[in-house]
Amino acid sequence: MLAAALFCIGMLGVLVRRNALVVFMCIELMLNAANLTFLAFARDRGDMTGHISAFFIIAVAAAEAAVGLAIVIAVFRSRGTVNIEEIQTMKH
């Protein structure tokens, strides 16, 4: 239940928020919600698979965070803002 709420907060955040860093945090929130779901179900069933899954998800999330932050820094350097609405130069 908590995980579902977290996931929804994360998803809404990605869709609504303007600041790139906040969007970024919301994505991490979604990943952790999935993590929590895996753990809750694993505990419920007494099954190890969910626990192992959580390890892998954490590791992957860390790698993703590293690359994501680097990209946000690159964006900030090239235009001095992390506001998503200003990051729109390419048009149809």
Partner 1 sequence: MFTHMVSPLTPYLPVAVVLGLAGLLAVLIPALTTRLGPRSVNEIKSATFECGSDPIGSARQRFAVKFYVVALLFIVFDVEAVFLYPWAVNFKALGWFGYGTMVAFAFTLVMGLVYIWKKGALTWES
Partner 2 sequence: MTIPEFTMADFWPVIPAGILTAAAIVLMISEVFLGAAASRTYQSLLSVLACVLAGAVALMNMTDTPRAVLQGYAVMDPFSSFLTLVVCVGTGLAALLAAGFLQHRNAERGEFYALMLFAAAGMTLLGLSNEFITLFVNLEVLSVATYALTAWLRRGSRPSEGAFKYFILGAFAAALMLYGAALLYGATGTTHLTDMAAKLRAALAETDASGGHPKQMLIYAGFLLVGAGFAFKVAAVPFHMWTPDVYEGAPTPVTALMSAGVKAAAFVALVRVFMALGPAVDPQLPFIAFSVLALLTMVVGNLLALPQRNVKRMLAYSSIAHAGYLLLGVAALFAVGKDAKVGVLSSTPLVGISGSMQSDVYQGILFYLLGYTVTAIGAFGTIVALERREDETKGNAWDLDRFAGLGSRKPGWALAMTVFMLSLGGVPPTVGFIGKVLLFRAAVDAGLLGLSIVGMLASAAGVYYYLRVVVYMYMRPAPEGALVPERRWTTELALVATAAGTVLFGVLPGPITALLQRTDMLFHR
Binding site for partner 1 (CB under 8 A): 55, 58-59, 62-63, 65-66, 69-70, 73
Integer Cα distance of 36 and 32 in angstroms: 6
Write out the DSSP string of 15-62.
Answer: HH--BHHHHHHHHHHHHHHHHHHHHHHHHHHT-SHHHHHHHHHHHHHH
Residue matched to tokens 């860390």: 62
50 binds, among partner 1, partner 2, none (CB under 5 to 8 A by kind): partner 2
- Least distance to partner 1, CB of residue 52, Å: 8
Residue number, 2 or 52, with CB nearest to partner 2 = 52
Q: How far is the CB of 15 from partner 1 (least distance, A)?
A: 26
